[in-house]
Amino acid sequence: MRISCAKCFNYIRSLLEDVKLPFGTITLAIVVIAAYVYASNGALYLSDTALEQLSFSLASSPAALFTHQFLHVGPLHLLGNLLPLIVFGLLLETVLSSVEIIVIFLTAGIISSILFSFTNPLVSLVGASTGVAGLMGAAAVARPKLALSLLLLTPVILYLVIFPLATDYTRAKTVDLVSQQQQLTEQVDSLVVQTKSNTSTQLQEQLAQTQSARQDATQQRVLVESGKEREHSTPSDFLVHVYGILVGIAYVALFHQRLVKTGAQEFKRLIAFANRKL
């Protein structure tokens, strides 16, 4: 039985047309991860300088309105926003376009940050949570049943699985840096002793390289320890997230009234089901 290449191509194309890839959610997730890796130079935590330059407040540059949405104070902060971004982004892309997902995320982040900063001018904002709140608000209106289920399930996954794993990795990384620093210190001490009786250029270069490696390990250790402390001490404001949720709700209400109606009907059925069970 012979099958022409044209028929195969048409069949594959028809399958791809039926599958809607969540480009908006994928794009946002990639940018959030890439921004963190870039700003931290591949380290676990960003430096204080990087956060100060890229966070948003009323005294910041206009560019900070965008940059602060893609940066985080630490890996727990990053993962705590990344999972709901993916979950609610995927849910929304079943009823909205990829472009709209990005628009809701950015708009919610920008508007909520500006509103919050007017009443809290001395506070700097960083993180994707306001944009994620916008996606949550939009999802709650468009797909209330699934949105409520995911809203209950996501924190469970974060606190029982993802956060413990991330904490264990951070702890192991800290131990590794301490061990590396100790080994390099021993190597430096040994090389210093050797250079007293042997002043060869090769030995001097080896000593300089080892001292530089020890300095890098020390800086990484300090960065991790200060980053952990900063991540645990950084507060999360409730009001700025409420603004983000309201922006997401407003977007669906303004541009997708049909989804508002079907969502309201779904919500009524959900309430009726809960009442029958109670």
How confident is the model at residue 30, as a pLDDT? 97
Residue type, 33: I
For 89, the domain range is 8-172+236-277
Q: Which residues contact 153 (CB under 8 A, 6 or more apart)?
A: none
How confident is the model at residue 1, as a pLDDT? 42
SS (HEC) of the chain: CCCCHHHHHHHHHHHHHHCCCCHHHHHHHHHHHHHHHHHCCCCCCCCHHHHHHHCECCCCCCCHHHHHHHCCCCHHHHHHHHHHHHHHHHHHCCCCCHHHHHHHHHHHHHHHHHHHHHHCCCCCECCCHHHHHHHHHHHHHHCHHHHHHHHHHHHHHHHHHHHHHHHHHHHHHHHHHHHHHHHHHHHHHHHHHHHHHCCCHHHHHHHHHHHHHHHHHHHHHHHHHHHHHHHHHCCCCHHHHHHHHHHHHHHHHHHCHHHHHHHHHHHHHHHHHHHHHC
How confident is the model at residue 5, as a pLDDT? 63
208 falls within a domain? no
228 falls within a domain? no
231 falls within a domain? no
Residues in the chain: 278
203 falls within a domain? no
How confident is the model at residue 278, as a pLDDT? 73
- Give the CATH number of the domain where residue 45 resides: 1.20.1540.10
69 falls within a domain? yes
Rounded (10°) angle between helices 238-255 and 129-142: 40
Residues of the chain with pLDDT under 50: 1-3, 12, 15-17
184 falls within a domain? no
197 falls within a domain? no
Question: Residues 190-240: pLDDT tens digits?
Answer: 878 887 777 677 778 887 888 888 888 888 888 888 898 999 888 888 999
How confident is the model at residue 43, as a pLDDT? 87
204 falls within a domain? no
Domain count across the chain: 1
How confident is the model at residue 4, as a pLDDT? 58
Q: What's this model's pTM, rounded to 2 decimal places?
A: 0.87
